[in-house]
Structure 1
Amino acid sequence: MQPAKIPKPDPAWPNPARPDPTWPDPAWEVEAVLAWHDDNAKAAIRSLLDDCKHLRQQLALAERAMSRGMTRGWRPRYKRDAL
């Protein structure tokens, strides 16, 4: 029986301890969203607003399902902090 091979970390893979500030590129994300919607900005905005609404509903559902002991008093915020 041979010992297990332990792979070495891939230096190209993003390291969560040191996030790469260039990944993901916000400009690329905007272009990707517009390309998905055939450069229709209104359709892209509608889709992103629908995604936001869906995620808020999922957050509300998770909040109701979790006990306070499980989250140690953490409560979700539905509004973002000011940028």
Structure 2
Amino acid sequence: MKPDLRSRPADDELAEVVAYHEGDMEAAIGTLLEDIRHLRRQLALAEGAMGRGMARGWRPSYDRD
């Protein structure tokens, strides 16, 4: 049976985030939530600066589909 290689990078990233926070899962989650808020603000700014014709009517989505 082949191992599922698609899940390995996510597992590695998770381990790195937890290690960075010295095993404190609440701190790791807090940092990730702050990153999400920051990226949403950046997306809103980009959307405001982007002309309608620039992306042929495409609008960014703030949530997963």
Please report the TM-score for the alignment, with normalisation by the length of structure 2.
Answer: 0.86
In structure 2, the gaps of 5 or more residues are: none
More RCO (CA 8 Å, sep 6+): 2
Are positions 1:78 and 2:50 aligned together?
Answer: no
Q: How many residues align?
A: 61
Rounded to whole Å, the distance in 2 between the matches of 1:38 and 1:48 is 15
Are positions 1:60 and 2:53 aligned together?
Answer: no
In structure 1, the gaps of 5 or more residues are: 1-20
| % identity of equivalent residues | 52
Q: C-alpha root-mean-square deviation of aligned residues, in Å?
A: 1.5
